[in-house]
């Protein structure tokens, strides 16, 4: 199993920020902040599943063909190969904890299907 994430890794994106809280061979835990109006790309992963636990705010989540509204204290499981996205339509930050589980954990396993920031 390959995992290129290391504890403390972080990055800024047009939609907000992410930081790796913990990482081992087959899992990675990130804290992700989505700014007001921020929207991650519609994406999928070939080598990992994800579990999102919202800890702040309310978000609109695309899971396959379904739209879900989730707020702090709620969660969603994203199976491998299922398209997904989170967006913040509110006036406050949305934060969630993302637990990635899989055989290949790195940024190269992001397949962007649609992106408002021109990265698809």
Q: Is the pLDDT of residue 1 over 70?
A: no
How far, in Å, CA of 28 to CA of 35, rounded? 22
Spell out the residues 6+ positions from residue 6 whose beta carbon is closer than 8 angstroms to its own: 20, 23
The rounded Cα 14 to chain-centroid distance in angstroms is 14
State the pLDDT at residue 36: 98
pTM score, whole prediction = 0.93
pLDDT digits (tens, 9 = 90+) for 29-52: 999 999 999 999 999 999 999 999
| Reported confidence tier of residue 119, pLDDT bands at 50, 70, 90 | confident
How far, in Å, CA of 63 to CA of 73, rounded? 18
């Amino acid at each position: 199993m390959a995992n290129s994430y290391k504890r403390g890794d972080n990055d800024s994106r047009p939609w907000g920020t992410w930081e790796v809280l913990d990482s081992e061979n087959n899992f990675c835990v990130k804290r992700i902040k989505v700014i007001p109006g921020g929207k991650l790309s519609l994406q999928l992963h070939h080598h990992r599943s994800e579990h999102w636990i919202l800890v702040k705010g309310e978000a609109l989540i695309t899971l396959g063909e379904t739209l879900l509204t989730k707020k702090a204290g709620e969660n969603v499981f994203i199976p491998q190969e299922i398209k997904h996205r989170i967006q913040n339509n509110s006036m406050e930050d949305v934060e969630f904890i993302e637990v990635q589980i899989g055989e290949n954990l790195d940024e190269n396993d992001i397949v962007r299907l649609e992106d408002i920031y021109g990265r698809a």
